[in-house]
Structure 1
Amino acid sequence: MEKTTWKPGTMLYPLPTVMVSCGAEADEYNIVTVAWTGIVNTDPPMCYISLRKSRHSHAIISKNREFVINLTTRALAFATDWCGVKSGRDFDKFKEMKLHPVPADKVKAPMIAESPVNLECVVKEIVELGTHDMFLAEIVAVHGDKKYLDTETGAFNLAKAEPIAYAHGKYYVLGDFVGKFGFSVRKKKKKRRAKKKPKK
């Protein structure tokens, strides 16, 4: 198999693309779009986001040490991109994108009502890395839109929300279901052979 080689870079795709909301008071509420994000621990549940120091949200999160990660969807793709290229210094992003801030349970930062899943996060450590600072945070509450709950099983069906991911400068809706965790090693159930009824 022939490969080509590039200089070291961030070629780790696809990534979740999320809208991070922040601010302790309504007059400082802001939204920043982040692709440098992920889970880093299970118990306690922890995640991270990485921001440039120049971003307006960097100062807000550094001061308040909390934020909300809001998952994004096909319907939110335009707002997701817009909030990533415009600055909160110049625009009220909630107002401009007709998004609605709603109170969180554990943090002062608002959640985005239109997002299917909201993760309330409390910053535990800020790590200076170079171009970006990493905000290492504990997830202290999770909220899901009830319309994606299966009324029979109680399972949350995020696929129905058409979540989007980021890959090399482009946004994509997640594709077809190919398997459930552990399906590669799960034993197949043997088909029961139907007993033949004796001829009369």
Structure 2
Amino acid sequence: MAKQVWQGGNMLYPLPAVMVSCANAAGEKNIVTVAWAGTVCTNPPMLSISLRPERHSYGIIRESGEFVVNLVTARLQRACDWCGVRSGRDHDKWEECHLTPASAAKLELAPAIEESPVNIECHVRDVLELGSHHLFLADVLAVQVDDALLNANGKLDLARACLTAYSHGEYFELGRRLGTFGYSVRKKAPKDRRPRRR
């Protein structure tokens, strides 16, 4: 396989393009689309998002110290893109995208997006000023999940959500399951050795 050095920058794709909702004490609410987001720690549960300081939501989150990561479905993808290319300085993204602010379970200011099936409520622990982007390291205080995503055993089934991903300027709907965690090393089930009826 022939390869060459790529000069295009970050190549860690695909990414979860998420809608981050926030608000400040003055009641200003906004939504910003973030592709640079990820899980940081399981115990305690933590995640991070990276924002450019010039983004309108940056100041709101820096001031309030909280935000909600809202997962994006195929139905929300157009709103997700729109919230990423328009500024909250000039637009009321909630109204123009027909999105509903919902009360968070543990946060004081930041609302969740009602139309998103999963809302991850976060409290900022630290801000790392890295360069073009600043990384918000946050504790996950609560996760709200749409009842429709829970199976009969109460297990979360995200495949039902039709989630999307972002890869190098394009959006994709997640589709075919290739396996489950650990399937590559799992022993095959023993064959049924009972005699068959003829």
Which bracket does the TM-score occupy, shorter chain normalised?
over 0.9
- The 3 A distance-change label for structure 1 pair 196 and 139 is closer
Deviation at 1:149, TM superposition (A): 1.6
Deviation at 1:26, TM superposition (A): 7.6
1:166 paired residue number: 166
Unaligned runs of 5+ in 1: none
Q: What is the distance in 2 between the residues matched to 1:175 and 1:101?
A: 29
1:23 paired residue number: 23
Normalised by the size of structure 2, how large is the TM-score?
Answer: 0.95
Normalised by the size of structure 1, how large is the TM-score?
Answer: 0.94
2:48 paired residue number: 48
1:70 paired residue number: 70
Q: Contact 1:116/1:158 (CA < 8 Å) preserved in 2?
A: no
Q: What is the distance in 2 between the residues matched to 1:26 and 1:157?
A: 37
- What are the residue-to-residue correspondences of 1:82-161 with 2, within 5 Å? 82-107=82-107, 108-150=109-151, 152-161=152-161
Which deviates more from structure 2 when the two are superposed, residues 185-194 or residues 79-88?
185-194
- The 3 A distance-change label for structure 1 pair 190 and 85 is same
Q: Contact 2:127/2:134 (CA < 8 Å) preserved in 1?
A: yes
Q: Residues 160-187 of structure 1: CA distance to partner in whole angstroms, max 9, x if unpaired?
A: 1110000001100012000000001111
Q: Secondary structure, in 3 states, of the residue corresponding to 2:191?
A: coil
RMSD (Å), alpha carbons: 1.5
Identity of aligned residues (%): 54
Q: Secondary structure, in 3 states, of the residue corresponding to 2:68?
A: strand
Q: What is the distance in 1 between the residues matched to 2:27 and 2:35?
A: 25
Unaligned runs of 5+ in 2: none
Aligned residue pairs, count: 197
Q: Residues 14-66 of structure 1: CA distance to partner in whole angstroms, max 9, x if unpaired?
A: 00000000003584110000000000111001100000010000000000010
Matched to 1:194, the amino acid is R
Q: What is the distance in 2 between the residues matched to 1:26 and 1:175?
A: 41
Query: Which has the larger Rg?
Result: 1
- The 3 A distance-change label for structure 1 pair 29 and 91 is same
Q: What is the distance in 1 between the residues matched to 2:169 and 2:194?
A: 55
Q: Contact 2:24/2:61 (CA < 8 Å) preserved in 1?
A: no
1:10 paired residue number: 10
2:175 paired residue number: 175
Q: What is the distance in 1 between the residues matched to 2:141 and 2:52?
A: 24
Q: Residues 84-141 of structure 1: CA distance to partner in whole angstroms, max 9, x if unpaired?
A: 0000111111111000000101112000000010000000000001100000000010
Q: What is the distance in 2 between the residues matched to 1:146 and 1:85?
A: 31
Matched to 1:124, the amino acid is R
Runs of 4+ in 1 over 2 A off after TM superposition: 24-27
